[in-house]
């Protein structure tokens, strides 16, 4: 059986990436892009983690959702099982990333870009597992990708590389559900998504119950003409995680909508980093993030909108709000605009406040006990983002998650 | 029903209410009128239990001193404040809020809580009387409501919670004549021998629709004159200057 090292272009790209990583090393607070990152300490303290060699590990079926959906189950980085339903079977191609390399063994360099980012370079150099998913038409049912990690990867590092291609005129909802039963692992997941002309992808992520590992999820999304990408990340009970996305709006009428809610307490932390590149005329981006921070938790949001000089008629919007429930918690917000075109509409706003006392009094003056009133306000605050989700089923799913999280 | 005795309220060094006394009997309607800054809204907030004030004295409600009780417990005991500026709370939906509020009050009273079906039937019935559309009940609390819609919403909450004492803080402000009549009709429908009202207003016009048993003039944090409903008409002609001079 061929291994990825047999594919010359991949071997060269990996070697190049390794050199880049070796030159830079792990990120530190001195790097502006990583200044507030919760990953720094873990990475500095765990430089010598053994690399996990993917294996056929067992599936945890308990976490399967009970509504009808197409399933992809990835255990410790390796695709273990797929289950596609009805006509959707003919609209999907799935294989491992290695198989994809073998069949497309030229022009792979775009999957190995972002060389300035040390952790992406490390992933490019070390990833030996992951999936290739191609969506060829409108899907009837959503896809759920179950990313499962178990104790076999305790105190190891795992690098996973995925490529998702959405063909022209296709629509799909892809829900990624992460389950971690492992400890002290560094997991790096690098996903390239190409959204071809006039396609629409909704990418929702459940980021919960992971306080024992260090996770870096990096996505690079290329969006073609009249196509759009909508993403929502729901984060709760998480620690030492960075969710990063770089989006290229490459052609006219390309759009992206990024939504985030996070509820952090105790000593939890979560970092969100967004870079949106408007690279063509008439493109639109929208970022809306709301965070509730409590205890000694720390939230970070870095969001940059870049507008190329040819990207006239750009519409870029960014709103970052956080409510701090304790005196010890922190939220770091860094909104940035870099604009080289002159006919654009870009706005950014960021606010961090404590819980609104007038709102609390109003609810309590209606007989609602303080704890319940606070819960209603927090739920309402986060739900405003969830309400933006355009897939009705997932909107209801995450509204319920929000309610359950607070009850 | 309510007996306020020697109530002193201040924020920092600023005294807002000074030795304030007021008694409201069961089923009575009292109106407090006064110029801007006389402490009327502060009185309503303090009665409802808002934090942020230094408070001293007695607030006896149904023979219990409630001065130390938080706002939710006062509401559960039967005090309702219709806000001058109802708060907008994005993401908190009317139906959910109203049901939570109603059940919190019912639970505190030891009554059976309502389920979704019972609640929807009840709320629609009350909303219809006040000319509130079903669509409004599906919106976020007071968000995007007009001034009139907000005030009607306050009366809707009052009619659902059936308080023993309703405090109306400038419920007439921001209302056109038609809306004022709808709101006043809603309040009048709630009048009963067991329910008392404290109406705070600048103008006499609300009192044309809701006839008070007593009218009090409040200036600089204290009541300077008490009379019958005719006093409101007098005030409309002569204003508050005379009372301010007296102090």
User: What distance in Å separates residue A360's CA from the closest CA in chain B?
Assistant: 10
What distance in Å separates the CA atoms of residue A329 and residue B233, rounded to the nearest whole number?
56
Which residues of B lie closer than 8 Å to A, measured between beta carbons?
48-52, 70-72, 74-76, 80-81, 83, 86-87, 89-93, 96-97, 100-101, 104-105, 108, 140-141, 157, 161
Report pLDDT digits (tens) over A345-391.
999 999 999 999 999 999 999 999 999 999 999 999 999 999 999 99
Cα–Cα distance list, A339 to A180, A313, A344 (Å): 40, 12, 8
Residue in chain A lying closest to B99 (CA): A368
For B123-141, b where at least 16 C-beta lie within 10 A, e where not — what string? beebbeebbbeeebbebbb
Is residue A1 scored above 70 in pLDDT?
no
Please list, in sequence order, all residues whose beta carbon lies within 8 angstroms of the beta carbon of residue A404, skipping any fewer than 6 positions away: none
Of B83, B90, B108, the CB nearest to A367: B108
Does the beta-carbon distance from A362 to B70 stay under 8 Å?
no
Does the beta-carbon distance from B100 to A372 stay under 8 Å?
yes
User: What distance in Å separates residue B231's CA from the closest CA in chain A?
Assistant: 31
User: What distance in Å separates residue B19's CA from the closest CA in chain A?
Assistant: 25
A107 — pLDDT class (breaks 50, 70, 90): confident
Rg (CA), chain A: 21
User: Which of A362, A379, A384 should we substitute to test contact with B (largest number of B Cβ atoms within 10 Å)?
Assistant: A362
User: What distance in Å separates residue B247's CA from the closest CA in chain A?
Assistant: 33
Of A366, A368, A380, the CB nearest to B91: A380
Of A369, A370, A376, the CB nearest to B92: A376
Question: A362 is written with which tokens?
Answer: 């109003």
pTM for the whole structure = 0.90
Does the beta-carbon distance from B75 to A364 stay under 8 Å?
yes
Cα–Cα distance list, B107 to B75, B103, B166 (Å): 12, 6, 20
Query: Which whole number is the average pLDDT over B59-77?
Result: 95
Residue in chain A lying closest to B94 (CA): A380
The count of other CB atoms within 10 Å of the CB of residue A69 is 20
Can you list the alpha helix ranges (DSSP code H) found in A81-200? 97-103, 118-126
ipTM of the complex: 0.95
Report pLDDT digits (tens) over B176-197.
888 788 778 888 888 899 999 9
Domain B2-246: CATH superfamily is P-loop containing nucleotide triphosphate hydrolases (3.40.50.300)
The count of other CB atoms within 10 Å of the CB of residue A68 is 10
Rounded-to-10 torsion of CA B94, B95, B97, B103: 150
Report pLDDT digits (tens) over B132-143.
888 889 899 999
Is residue A2 scored above 50 in pLDDT?
no
What distance in Å separates the CA atoms of residue A285 and residue A276, rounded to the nearest whole number?
7
Among A100-104, A178-182, B96-100, which is the least confidently predicted range?
A: A100-104
**Can you give the length of chain B in residues?**
247
Enumerate the domain spans of chain B.
2-246
Handedness of CA A277, A41, A17, A132 (dihedral sign): negative
On whether the CB atoms of residues B225 and B216 are closer than 8 A, the answer is: yes
Report pLDDT digits (tens) over A135-176.
999 999 999 999 999 999 999 999 999 999 999 999 999 999
Enumerate the domain spans of chain A.
4-251, 357-407
Is residue A98 scored above 90 in pLDDT?
no
Report pLDDT digits (tens) over A283-306.
999 999 999 999 999 999 999 999
């Amino acid at each position: 059986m061929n291994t990825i090292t047999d594919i010359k272009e991949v071997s060269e790209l990996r070697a190049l990436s390794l050199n880049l990583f070796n030159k830079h090393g792990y990120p530190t607070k001195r790097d502006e892009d990583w200044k507030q990152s919760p990953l720094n300490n873990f990475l500095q303290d765990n430089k010598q983690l053994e690399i996990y060699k993917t294996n056929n590990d067992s599936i945890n079926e308990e976490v399967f959702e009970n509504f009808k959906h197409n399933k992809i189950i990835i255990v410790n980085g390796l695709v273990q099982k797929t289950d596609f339903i009805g006509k959707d079977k003919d609209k999907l191609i799935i294989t491992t990333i290695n198989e994809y390399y073998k069949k497309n063994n030229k022009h792979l360099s775009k999957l190995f870009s972002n060389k300035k980012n040390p952790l992406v370079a490390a992933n490019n150099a070390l990833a030996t597992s992951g999936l290739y998913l191609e969506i060829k038409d409108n899907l009837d049912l959503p896809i759920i990708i179950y990313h499962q990690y178990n104790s076999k990867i305790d105190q190891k590092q795992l690098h996973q590389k995925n490529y998702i291609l959405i063909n022209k005129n296709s629509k799909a909802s892809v829900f990624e559900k992460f389950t971690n039963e492992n400890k002290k692992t560094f997991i790096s997941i690098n996903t390239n998504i190409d959204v071809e002309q006039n396609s629409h992808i909704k990418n929702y992520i459940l980021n919960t119950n992971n306080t024992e590992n260090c996770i870096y999820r990096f996505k690079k999304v290329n969006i073609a003409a009249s196509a759009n990408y909508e993403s929502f990340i729901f984060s709760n009970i998480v620690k030492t995680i960075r969710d990063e996305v770089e989006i290229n709006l490459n052609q006219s009428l390309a759009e992206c909508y990024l939504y985030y809610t996070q509820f952090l307490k105790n000593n939890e932390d979560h970092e969100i980093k967004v870079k949106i590149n408007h690279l063509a005329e008439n493109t639109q981006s929208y970022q809306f993030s709301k965070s509730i921070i409590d205890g000694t938790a720390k939230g970070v949001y870095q969001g940059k909108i870049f507008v190329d000089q040819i990207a006239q008629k750009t519409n870029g919007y960014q709103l970052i709000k956080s409510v701090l429930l304790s005196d010890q918690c922190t939220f770091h917000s860094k909104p940035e605009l870099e604009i080289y075109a002159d006919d654009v509409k870009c706005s950014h706003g960021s606010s961090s406040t404590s819980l609104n006392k007038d709102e609390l009094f109003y609810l309590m003056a209606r007989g609602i006990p303080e704890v319940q009133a606070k819960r209603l306000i927090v739920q309402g605050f986060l739900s405003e983002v969830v309400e933006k989700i355009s897939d009705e089923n997932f909107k209801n799913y995450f509204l319920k998650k929000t309610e359950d999280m607070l009850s | 029903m309510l007996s306020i005795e020697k109530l002193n309220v201040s924020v920092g060094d600023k005294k807002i209410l000074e030795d304030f006394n007021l008694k409201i009997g069961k089923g009575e309607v009292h109106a407090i009128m006064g110029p801007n800054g006389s402490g009327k809204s502060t009185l309503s907030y303090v009665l409802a239990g808002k934090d942020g004030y230094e408070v001293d004295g007695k607030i006896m409600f149904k023979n219990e001193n409630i001065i130390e009780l938080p706002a939710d417990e006062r509401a559960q005991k039967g005090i309702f404040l219709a806000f001058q500026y109802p708060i907008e709370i994005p993401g908190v939906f009317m139906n959910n809020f109203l049901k939570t509020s109603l059940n919190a009050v019912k639970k505190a009273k030891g009554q059976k809580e309502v389920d979704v079906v019972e609640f929807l039937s009840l709320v629609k019935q009350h909303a219809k009387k006040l000319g509130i559309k079903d669509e409004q009940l599906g919106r976020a609390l007071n968000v995007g409501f007009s001034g009139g819609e907000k005030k009607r919403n306050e009366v809707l909450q009052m009619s659902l919670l059936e308080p023993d004492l309703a405090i109306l803080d400038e419920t007439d402000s921001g209302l056109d004549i038609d809306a004022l009549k709808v709101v006043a009709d809603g309040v009048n429908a709630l009048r009963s021998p067991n329910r008392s009202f404290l109406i705070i207003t600048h103008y006499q016009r609300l009192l044309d629709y809701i006839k008070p048993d007593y009218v009090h003039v409040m200036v600089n944090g204290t009541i300077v004159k008490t009379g019958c409903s005719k006093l409101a008409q007098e005030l409309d002609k002569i204003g508050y200057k005379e009372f301010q001079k007296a102090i």
